[in-house]
Amino acid sequence: MTKRIRLISPALAVILWLLLPSLGLAQSEMLSFPWGQFVASTVSFLVPVGIILVAIAALPPEQAPRAGLAALLAAALGALAYWAAGFALQFGGIGLIHDIPTLRDLSWEWSLLDVSWGPGWGMAGLRGFFLSYGASSPHGLALFLSHLPWVMTASALPGIVLSARKRTGAAFLFSIVLGGLLYPLFGNWVWGGGWLANLGQTRSLGHGFVDFGGSSAPFLLAGSIGLAALLLWRSKRARSAEPQMPAPHLPLVAMLGLFLTLAGASGWLLASPQAASAGDALPRAAVNAVLSCLGGGLVAGFYTWFVARKVDLFMTARGALAGLVASLGCAPFMPAWAGWAVGAVAGLLLPLVIYLVDHVLNLADDTAIVATFGVAGLIGTLAPGLLADGLYGAGWNGVGAERFLGVDGLGVTGLLAHVGTVAGWEGQMVAQLAGAGVVLVWGFVLPWALGRLIQGVGSLLAKASAASTSSPRGSAGS
C-alpha cells in the first residue's frame, strides 16, 4: 500500500502542477465576475411584478385577472424578442467602450452617418443575436439579466392598457416590437455607447445624455406607447357632474405592489450597467430614490385629503410610485433636498394629469400609465439637466475625468448647481431635452403607425368577412 502511494504521489504532483494555471485562471475569472450585479438583477425582478400589481389594482375585479395574464404574457414576449434580437441591437458594440476581456467580441456598432462625422455616432449594435458571440460569456449574460426587468416592465405596461380595451393581439404585437426594437435601439443610444450618450464628446453638451436608472426607458417610453394606444383605441368614460377620484377596486393589491417595487428598487439601481461607474454615489442614489418615493406619496396623499377631505390610499400609492420613477434618472447626481423635490413634483402632477387624461381628453386611462409613468419618467429624464450638483459623475460618458469647464474632475452638473464661476453647464440640459424629445417621438410615432396598420388590416378583414357571409344569402335570394 505504501509502495503504491509512493508511485502515485509524483504523478498526482505533476497533474496538479499542470492544472494550477487553469485553476488560477478560473479563480481570477470567478473573482472578476460581477456577482453583486448578478444578485441585484435577481432582486430587481420584484419591480415589474410590483408595478403590474399597482397598474391592475384600479381595474374592476372581473377585469384584473385578464389584465394580469396579458401583462405576464406581454412581458414574456418582450423578453423573448430581447433575447433574440434586442440585446444585440442594444449592446452589440459594448466591447468598444469597455475593456472587459469577455465582452471584446461585442464590438460591432453601426451608424447611419458618414465617417466624416467622427466617432461616437453609433446607432445599433450588430453582434450577440440569440446571445451568441460575447453575449454568451458570464459578463454578457449578467448584462442581459440586468436589463431584462427593464424590458419586461416596458412590455407589460402597454399590454395592460390594451388588454383593458380587449386588444390582446395588439398588446402582444406591441410587446414584441418594443422588446426587439424600440427599447433596445434607444437603450443603445443611451447605455450601449450610442450617439445620445456621446453628445458630450461630439457636441460638447455636458456629459451627454444621462439616465442612471431608467426614467427615460422603460418608463417614459412605456408612457408614450400607452398614450398612443389610448388615442388609437379610445374608450370614453361616462361623464359625471362632479369628477370623482379613481376608484380603488383593489387597494390592498396596490399597496402590495408598491412595497414589492420598493423592495426591488435597490436591486434595480445596483443592477444598472452604470452602477460600477457611479461608485461612491450609489448610497446617495438609494437614499434619493427613497426620499423621492416618500415625497411623491405624501404630496399625492395630502392633495386628496385637501380635495376630498380624506386621504386616498390608491392615489397615495400611485404618487409614491411616480416619485420613485421620477428619481431614477438623476438619483446619484442630486442632493437630498432635490430627491424630496422631484418626488413632490411628480406626486403633485399625478392627480392633475389623471384629471386631464380622464376628464378633459376623455381617454379613460384606468391604469394611469400616462400620469404615473409617462409624466414621472419625463421629470426624471430632465432632472439631471436641472438638479445635478456636479459632485459625482466625473468621467461619465467619457467626459469630465480631468479638467472640464474650468474645474478639475467636474461631475454631472445641472442649471441650478453652484460650482464657483463655472459657465457652460447649460449644455447638460440641452442634452437631456434632446434625449427626452427622441424618446417621446420614438415611443409615440412608430407605435402609432403600427397601431394604424393593425386597425387597417382589421378593417379589411372585417369587410372581407362581411362580404363572404352576405354573398351566399344574395345568391340564394336571387
Residues in the chain: 478
Of 130-139, 165-174, 209-218, where does the model show the most confidence? 209-218
Beta pairing, strands 109-110 & 407-408: unpaired
With a cut of 50, say whether residue 29 has pLDDT above it.
Answer: no
pLDDT of residue 33: 61
Of 126-140, 261-275, 283-297, where does the model show the most confidence? 283-297
pLDDT of residue 144: 95
Helix then strand then coil, % of the chain, to nearest 5? 70, 0, 30
Position 207: which residue type?
A: H
CA–CA distance, 294 with 381 (Å, rounded to integer): 19
pLDDT band for position 331 (cuts 50, 70, 90): very high
Which helix (H) or strand (E) is 69 found in, with range?
A: helix 64-81
Q: What is the DSSP string of 216-246?
A: IIIIIHHHHHHHHHHHHS--PPPP-SS--PP
pLDDT band for position 292 (cuts 50, 70, 90): very high
Give burial (CB, 10 Å; 0-12/13-18/19+) of 361. Answer: middle
pLDDT of residue 438: 96
pLDDT of residue 245: 59
User: What is the second-level CATH architecture of the domain 33-457?
Assistant: Orthogonal Bundle (1.10)
Residues 182, 185, 187, 192, Cα dihedral to 10°: 170
Beta pairing, strands 124-125 & 403-404: unpaired
Across the range 273-296, mean pLDDT stands at: 89
pLDDT of residue 26: 36
State whether residue 409 is helix, strand or coil: coil
With a cut of 50, say whether residue 476 has pLDDT above it.
Answer: no
Across the range 34-38, mean pLDDT stands at: 75
**Where are the strands (E) in 133-281, listed by range?**
none
Q: Are 153 and 48 in contact (CB under 8 A)?
A: yes
Across the range 260-286, mean pLDDT stands at: 87
CA–CA distance, 396 with 277 (Å, rounded to integer): 7
Beta bridge partners of 124: 110
Q: Which residue has the higher pLDDT, 352 or 422?
A: 352
Give, in order, the Cα–Cα distances in Å from 123 to each of 31, 70, 115, 298. 33, 31, 13, 41
- pLDDT digits 0-9 by tens, 60-77: 888 888 999 999 999 999
Domain spans of the chain, in order of start: 33-457
Least confident of 60-69, 193-202, 442-451: 60-69
pLDDT of residue 2: 53
pLDDT band for position 160 (cuts 50, 70, 90): very high
Q: Which residue has the higher pLDDT, 11 or 371?
A: 371
Position 273: which residue type?
A: P
- pLDDT digits 0-9 by tens, 308-328: 888 888 899 999 999 999 999
Q: Cell 439579466 sits at which residue?
A: 145
CB-CB neighbours of 348 under 10 Å: 18
- pLDDT digits 0-9 by tens, 458-470: 888 888 888 887 7
- Residue 225: which of 68, 472, 451, 477 has the closest Cα? 451
Across the range 39-43, mean pLDDT stands at: 88
- pLDDT digits 0-9 by tens, 249-263: 678 889 999 999 999
CA–CA distance, 366 with 10 (Å, rounded to integer): 75
Across the range 418-443, mean pLDDT stands at: 81
Of 7-21, 123-137, 248-262, where does the model show the most confidence? 123-137
With a cut of 70, say whether residue 10 has pLDDT above it.
Answer: no
Q: What is the pTM of this model?
A: 0.89
pLDDT of residue 16: 35
With a cut of 90, say whether residue 242 has pLDDT above it.
Answer: no
Across the range 352-376, mean pLDDT stands at: 92
pLDDT of residue 406: 59
